Structure 1
Amino acid sequence: MRYDLVIFDNDGVLVDSEPISNKLLAAYLTELGHPTSYEDSLRDYMGAAMHRVHDLVLERTGQRLPEDFDDVFHRRVFAAFERELEPVAGAVEVLEKLAADGVPYCVASSGSHERIRVGHRKTGLDRWFDDERIFSSQDVGRGKPAPDLFLHAAARMGVRPERCAVVEDSPLGVRAAVAAGMDVYGFTAMTPAGRLSGATRLFGEMPGLPALLC
């Protein structure tokens, strides 16, 4: 292993949540009078913290979303997670391999701590991530594409940025990792390779990741 720390994005990398949450986000924005397709949501919001949704709607329409927007959206998402959420195919095997090899890893997600934990409990990934391995955009002032979250995770884990590998599936996440001075492995299962062109390497199936990291 040529890295001292592997930092995973969560949504779409560890848990297969992007289709669920983006369908719900598109439907809720449309319900509120801001017509949004599933494809629009993936393009504009995949990998982003919730403040980006508020910022883009305000920028484009001059209107603010309701004060309870985040709460209502998360209630809908968490209910759907309980019904539908699964781990990304191969993610458990990758975590098993890293643990067996003694390679430190953590998760750094644009999602809230509550969202991360709800997803991990539902999918059984909570056995792999204690509190010291979970970092959220809530922990820093700026979410992706700013490098702050990844730099925060590396500092808390005691590893220099250049010794970190980031696993990401969104353009915003790739930009954040590059800005942090970290190698980034772009997961193309849901995102066209061309949108992750800044990544160090691209891969399409999670079981192939350990070989790339070595």
Structure 2
Amino acid sequence: MILPELNSKKYPSSICSDGELKLVIFDCDGVLVDGEHLSTAQMAREARKYGWDLTDEEAHRIFTGGELAKIGQQIAQKTGKELPADWDMMMQRRIVNMMKTDAETVDGAEDMLNSVLAMGLPVRVGSNSSGAEMEAKFASTGLDELLEEDRIHSGRDLEMPKPRPDIYLHAAEQEGVSPEHCIVLEDSNAGVEAARRAGMACVLLRPLDKDAPEWPGLLRIGHLSEFPVILRDILKQQRASHTVAA
């Protein structure tokens, strides 16, 4: 899983045999909760209402990982229509209400979380979703039983959405660890860019036949069941390296 040439002189310490993995940070949508298609379908309906002939799948490709305010700007620019000043807040309320009943976990998310927690690794969540939206998603899927509320961080609420690195840097700061000792699990290009800019290692969850950002050291998986395998391999190599060093 871990390439033998990875070393902490060139890559983040968290994924290197001579480094240390101290914190795992998860994105929410597309990684833990399968709510992104529901949200972007809402955006597609709004786009069509204002005159943008956009399919649900096109909206998913265009809007995934995006900030609501900027999505509203895209719709307004594309259609030439003026959206309500509180459009993003209105959409946020709709999404939260929808997630209370319709959110589902990504396939394998609960088992994956249990496996990571069993390794004794601290975990946090860093998402562009609002805190209210994540609370609804985690409550309706049961993931709130595994994720502590004070370990869930919202880029929207903190006004520092991805691809800015701030939400991931904030999570590391709250844990009291250096960014280079963190690994992020992401599914969007914006999230990968946020991790890269934060100086963190990143694993991309995406079908392996799909395009991915060109980033040296970016690890890829096609299913969540592969993520604990990567972490175990990292920890095994790091323990072996530290034993030799001692």
In the superposition, the TM-score normalised over structure 1's length comes to 0.89
- Residue in structure 1 matched with residue 106 of structure 2 by the alignment: 88
Identity within the alignment, %: 34
Shift of 1:61: 4.6
- Residue in structure 2 matched with residue 193 of structure 1 by the alignment: 210
Whether the 8 Å contact between 2:202 and 2:218 is mirrored in structure 1 is yes
Q: Which of the numbers 131, 141, 146 marks the counterpart of 1:128?
A: 146
Shift of 1:62: 4.9
Please, which moves more after superposition, 11-20 or 46-55? Answer: 46-55
Whether the 8 Å contact between 2:180 and 2:199 is mirrored in structure 1 is yes
Shift of 1:156: 1.1
Whether the 8 Å contact between 1:139 and 1:149 is mirrored in structure 2 is no
**How large is the Cα RMSD of the aligned pairs?**
2.1
- Residue in structure 2 matched with residue 112 of structure 1 by the alignment: 130
SS at match of 1:144: coil
Gaps of at least 5 residues in structure 2 are 1-13, 15-19, 235-246
Q: Which of the numbers 24, 34, 41 marks the counterpart of 1:23?
A: 41
Shift of 1:73: 2.3
- Residue in structure 2 matched with residue 54 of structure 1 by the alignment: 72
Whether the 8 Å contact between 2:32 and 2:106 is mirrored in structure 1 is yes
Q: How far, CA to CA, are the matches of 1:208 and 1:107 in structure 2?
A: 19
Q: How far, CA to CA, are the matches of 2:46 and 2:79 in structure 1?
A: 16
Shift of 1:139: 4.2
Q: Read off the aligned partner of 1:152 and give its amino acid letter.
A: H
Q: How far, CA to CA, are the matches of 2:130 and 2:99 in structure 1?
A: 14
- Residue in structure 2 matched with residue 170 of structure 1 by the alignment: 188
Q: How far, CA to CA, are the matches of 2:46 and 2:137 in structure 1?
A: 20
Greater helix share, structure number? 1
- The Cα offsets for residues 96-135 of structure 1, whole Å up to 9 and x where unpaired, read as 1122121001110001000000000000011122222110
Q: How far, CA to CA, are the matches of 1:138 and 1:79 in structure 2?
A: 17
Shift of 1:58: 4.2
Q: Read off the aligned partner of 1:132 and give its amino acid letter.
A: D
- The Cα offsets for residues 66-97 of structure 1, whole Å up to 9 and x where unpaired, read as 13423432343334334432111111112111
Kindly tell me the number of residue pairs found equivalent between the two proteins.
Answer: 213
SS at match of 2:156: helix
Please, which moves more after superposition, 106-115 or 31-40? Answer: 31-40
Q: How far, CA to CA, are the matches of 1:61 and 1:134 in structure 2?
A: 36
Shift of 1:3: 1.6
